Amino acid sequence: MENKIRICMGTSGISAGALDVEKNFRKALEQKNLTDSWEIMRVGDRGLFRDVLVDIVTPALGTITYQYVKPDDVEKIVESHIIGGEPYKKLKAGEDYEQFFKDQTRIVLANCGEIDPMDIEQYTEKGGYDALKKSLSMTRDQVLEEVKKSGLRGRGGGGFPTGTKWQFCKDAKGDKKYIVCNADEGDPGAFMDRSILEGDPHAVLEGMAIAGYTVGADEGYIYCRAEYPLAVKTLTIAIEEAEKRNYLGKNIFGSDFSFTLHIKEGAGAFVCGEETALLASIEGKKGRPNPRPPYPAVEGLWGKPTTINNVETFANIRHIITRGADWFSSIGYKDSKGTKVFALAGKIKNTGLVEVPMGTTIRDLVYGPGGGMLVKRIKLKGVQLGGPSGGCLPESLLDTPIDYTSITETGAIMGSGGMIVMDEKTCMVDVARYFLEFTVAESCGKCVPCRIGLKRMQEVLEDICAGKGKQEHLEFLQSMGETIKNTALCGLGNTAPNPVLTTMRYFMEEYEEHINDKECRAHECVELIHFEVMEDKCVKCGVCYSACPVNAIDWEKGQYAYINKDKCIKCKSCINACNFMAIK
């Protein structure tokens, strides 16, 4: 059907009202007797979170995208665009939307927002399962060599060469082998895996099946957190549809290769993102990491050789097989090949998922697809890379290429791809305290460095933010952070001190101000805030007066604001409202 209405109905879209938008479109088309000439498609989230996103596709006008669509807007779009042939300008996506996608190279995300993830025919029309069929016509060594030659590295954070990991499992001795997909996405602000699973689940299933054929595994598990109910539902349907068409199951494509898949729902423990803890959870044990070696490739799930990769890694496999390793390795930078999906969040104009070639600089990502700072007059202070175990980099390092080596050299990590942009109103000491609070809460407590060391670091940071900091605290944080990195049992502990160590490395002046001057330049730490209006910065706009919930600010038009300290409750409403940093 030539006329289509595509509605982005991933978790982001549904939370914004996509179900009611779809309902109103169906109702409007029925009332106008247009049901037979229009197809309504449910697609996944496209990445730019301006939901609800709706595409109207016609031969005459091509694809016109509408953003922030509410159920009440449907009738206007139908009348103006579908019946009148004129786009509804009020909600039509403009330059910001185009800028977000312009510099992206969408490989993993190519189908997200374009196909119905619960309709396997739409996936196969885009070449789906051709890579699996091609792989079965090759020898296992040929497939493995292609993956190795591509230079693909694990997208879950470690960046270990995928082909090498598969080789270890293939060479391991065992009567039974497993493939496991790590979809336990626990980083705050990260939603790459969720969007791929909701928007293009068959790409992950196909990648897992190819991995199974290559290493000699006939069974696999997708470990997906239970907080992703739509992803679990989409995966369940996708597996059922693939089995009906013999893309999964017994004797796939008439070959001697069989492969079955199961879904294991996790309870949301961040530590289960670590592969040995994840395997323990699948087995029904407590999700706690185990010392390595032995590595899972040799002794993994139920003691059998196991290959573990994350969602994005598996989603790349089909493209490597169909387009070739040379094509894939031509994209990227140095020893980091292909593209990487990032979750852009924070004080930035365009938030969402961005897929760019490895080697793209942080600056190009922030000011390209990201659209720059949310409030232009407030400058960028830093970027948090790699989730809660990542690092905070200053504005001076924005030209750092995003690849495994360059990012690691800064003290941060690539992680799974979370990127939070912070402006001058962000306190870097408080940021370090926040992320450490998260990792302390999520630590399994099995090893002493995590259980005691991280907690002690958190307590010191809380003292610093409360104005109780001492000069010796700085030496303690540095020493304890390095000790934990070197002695913790698993990757969570090895990287948990990163936010503290990188903020101390690049923003030490803020720590010293907190300790020596008892001041927080970002006005975040309440105990260190002196609530006074600085007349040299105040523009007499009265925004702080309107924001104060207890009428503690006196102001008249054309006059400077004044804070009544007897009434002030230090809620920071005035500071958050003021874009001129005029309150200290």
DSSP symbols for 2-45 = --EEEEE-SHHHHHTTHHHHHHHHHHHHHHTT-GGG-EEEEE--
CATH label of the domain that carries residue 499: 1.20.1440.230
User: Both tokens of residue 141?
Assistant: 């060594």
What distance in Å separates the CA atoms of residue 524 and residue 187, rounded to the nearest whole number? 23
On whether residue 501 sits in a domain, the answer given is: yes
**Domain finish residue from 365, 398, 423:** 423
Together in a domain, 255 and 147: yes
On whether residue 146 sits in a domain, the answer given is: yes
pLDDT at residue 224, rounded to an integer: 96
- Peptide linkage before 291 cis (omega within 30 of 0): no
Q: Give the type of residue at 263.
A: I
CATH label of the domain that carries residue 584: 3.30.70.20
Identify the domain containing residue 500 by its residue range.
428-517
pTM for the whole structure:
0.91
Together in a domain, 49 and 77: yes
User: Both tokens of residue 42?
Assistant: 């449910």
On whether residue 101 sits in a domain, the answer given is: no
Considering its fold, how many domains does the chain have in total?
5
On whether residue 261 sits in a domain, the answer given is: yes
What are the residues facing 161 on neighbouring strands?
A: 153
Reading the chain (584 residues) residue by residue, the pLDDT tens digits are 689 999 999 999 999 999 999 999 999 999 999 999 999 999 999 999 899 999 999 999 999 999 999 999 999 999 999 999 999 999 999 998 999 999 899 999 999 999 999 999 999 999 999 999 999 999 999 999 999 999 999 998 788 999 999 999 999 999 999 999 999 988 877 889 999 999 999 999 999 999 999 999 999 999 999 999 999 999 999 999 999 999 999 999 999 999 999 999 998 888 888 899 999 999 999 999 998 899 999 999 999 999 999 999 999 999 999 999 999 999 999 999 999 999 999 999 999 999 999 999 999 999 999 999 998 888 999 999 988 888 999 999 999 999 999 999 999 988 888 899 999 999 999 999 999 999 999 888 889 999 999 999 999 999 999 999 999 999 999 999 999 999 998 888 899 999 999 999 999 999 999 999 999 999 889 888 878 898 999 999 999 999 999 999 999 999 999 999 889 988 889 988 998 889 87
Together in a domain, 361 and 413: yes
Together in a domain, 88 and 193: no
CATH label of the domain that carries residue 155: 3.40.50.11540
Q: Are the C-beta atoms of 387 and 430 separated by less than 8 Å?
A: no
Together in a domain, 211 and 269: yes
Together in a domain, 171 and 307: yes
CATH label of the domain that carries residue 386: 3.10.20.600
- Across the chain, which distance is largest between two alpha carbons, in Å? 83
pLDDT at residue 188, rounded to an integer: 78
Which of 268, 270, 202 minimizes the C-alpha distance to 234?
Answer: 202
What distance in Å separates the CA atoms of residue 575 and residue 583, rounded to the nearest whole number? 6
**Domain finish residue from 263, 297, 329:** 329
What distance in Å separates the CA atoms of residue 96 and residue 148, rounded to the nearest whole number? 38
Together in a domain, 409 and 472: no
What distance in Å separates the CA atoms of residue 224 and residue 386, rounded to the nearest whole number? 20
On whether residue 113 sits in a domain, the answer given is: no
Together in a domain, 419 and 432: no
On whether residue 238 sits in a domain, the answer given is: yes
Q: Are the C-beta atoms of 314 and 181 separated by less than 8 Å?
A: yes
Together in a domain, 30 and 57: yes
Together in a domain, 417 and 434: no
pLDDT at residue 1, rounded to an integer: 67
Q: Which residues are CB-neighbours of 141 under 8 A, at least 6 positions away? A: none
Q: How many CB atoms lie within 10 A of CB 145?
A: 16
Q: How far is residue 114 from each of residues 87, 198, 237, 283, 350, measured CA to CA in Å?
A: 20, 12, 18, 37, 20
On whether residue 10 sits in a domain, the answer given is: yes
CATH label of the domain that carries residue 53: 3.40.30.10
**Domain finish residue from 386, 404, 423:** 423
pLDDT at residue 82, rounded to an integer: 95
Together in a domain, 166 and 271: yes
On whether residue 102 sits in a domain, the answer given is: no
Together in a domain, 236 and 159: yes
